């Protein structure tokens, strides 16, 4: 794919597949996030995909996955980004069970520092959850997938439309009440999602759950979660 040799498939998300690759000229490992083309793929999808790269590429922090470039190879759109040798926190939870308080505090520190950088740059992630936080083999914590990020730019007339389109793309299990209700969100919404994520990691289960997304959303609006010490069984 252009200057990249695709090596193996790593996984897939809501709108893209991810592959391990190597840049043939630079001899640099990369993760290629390739937009999945379907008959339903719209120009709005392409704009949202590009917005992910633009938002992430504008941020510089050790706990934010670095974006190398955005490309288009024979009509196939992709983002080349830092390849993390490790697992996301949902995978870690499935493999090892609930996290210790010490690990939870370290994850909280790293992700909060990353979000401070993003929020100062006017970028709201909008989809903080265990799947979007990676832990590398050496223990480094990395926030990835700014696909739902809203860049707060007065010069970007399309931002409002993309935000409205993205409201249903968040993950209800971790969404803030204001995001669920379709209100304007800012960095405080990310902090709510981070709190839900941390609860899930420490308790081994999310604070709210339901089979239907709407029922789950209602719980975020009207219910209180079980105290964390009870959820941890301690």
CATH of the domain at 9: 3.30.200.20
What total of structural domains would you count in the chain?
2
- Pair (115, 147) in one structural domain: yes
41 has a pLDDT exceeding 80: no
- Pair (93, 10) in one structural domain: no
- Pair (103, 201) in one structural domain: yes
Render pLDDT for 4-14 as a digit per residue (tens, 0 to 9).
Answer: 999 999 988 76
- Pair (122, 107) in one structural domain: yes
Among 81, 98, 126, where does a domain finish? 81
- Pair (150, 195) in one structural domain: yes
- Pair (144, 220) in one structural domain: yes
The mean pLDDT of 151-164, rounded to a whole number, is 42
Residues taking part in catalysis: 127
- Pair (123, 195) in one structural domain: yes
Among 27, 59, 81, where does a domain finish? 81
158 has a pLDDT exceeding 50: no
Question: Under the phi-then-psi rule, with left for phi > 0, alpha for psi from -120 to 50, and beta for the rest, what region is 131?
Answer: alpha
- Pair (193, 131) in one structural domain: yes
Cα 134 to Cα 22, 84, 92, 94, 231: the distances in Å are 20, 7, 9, 14, 24
Band of residue 151 on the pLDDT scale cut at 50, 70, 90:
low
Expressed as residue numbers, the domain containing 73 is: 4-81
The mean pLDDT of 57-85, rounded to a whole number, is 92
Among 46, 81, 116, where does a domain finish? 81
- Pair (44, 149) in one structural domain: no
> What integer pLDDT is reported at residue 166 of this predicted model?
40
Closest by CA to 180, choosing from 215, 204, 151, is 215
Render pLDDT for 91-123 as a digit per residue (tens, 0 to 9).
Answer: 999 999 999 999 999 999 999 999 999 999 989
- Pair (113, 62) in one structural domain: no
CATH of the domain at 183: 1.10.510.10
- Pair (115, 23) in one structural domain: no
Which structure tokens are listed for 132? 């979007």
Closest by CA to 164, choosing from 187, 148, 176, is 148
- Pair (137, 156) in one structural domain: yes
60 has a pLDDT exceeding 50: yes
């Amino acid at each position: 794919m252009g200057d990249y040799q695709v090596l193996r498939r790593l996984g897939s998300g809501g709108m893209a597949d991810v592959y391990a690759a190597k840049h043939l000229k630079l001899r640099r490992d990369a993760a290629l996030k390739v937009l999945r083309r379907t008959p339903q793929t719209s120009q709005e999808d392409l704009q949202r995909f590009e917005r992910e790269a633009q938002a992430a590429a504008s941020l510089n922090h050790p706990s934010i996955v670095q974006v190398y470039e955005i490309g288009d190879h024979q009509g196939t759109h992709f983002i080349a980004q830092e390849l993390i040798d490790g697992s996301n926190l949902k995978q870690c939870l499935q493999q090892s069970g609930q996290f210790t308080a010490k690990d939870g505090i370290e994850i909280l520190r790293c992700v909060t520092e990353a979000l401070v950088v993003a929020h100062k740059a006017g970028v709201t992630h909008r989809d903080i959850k265990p799947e979007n936080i990676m832990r590398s083999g050496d223990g480094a914590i990395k926030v990835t997938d700014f696909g739902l990020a809203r860049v707060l730019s007065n010069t970007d007339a399309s931002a409002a439309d993309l935000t409205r389109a993205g409201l249903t793309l968040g993950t209800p299990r971790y969404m803030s009440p204001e995001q669920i209700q379709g209100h304007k969100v800012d960095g405080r919404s990310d902090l709510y999602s981070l709190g839900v994520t941390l609860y899930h990691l420490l308790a081994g289960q999310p604070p709210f759950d339901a089979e239907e997304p709407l029922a789950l959303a209602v719980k975020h609006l009207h219910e209180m979660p079980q105290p964390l010490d009870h959820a941890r069984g301690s």
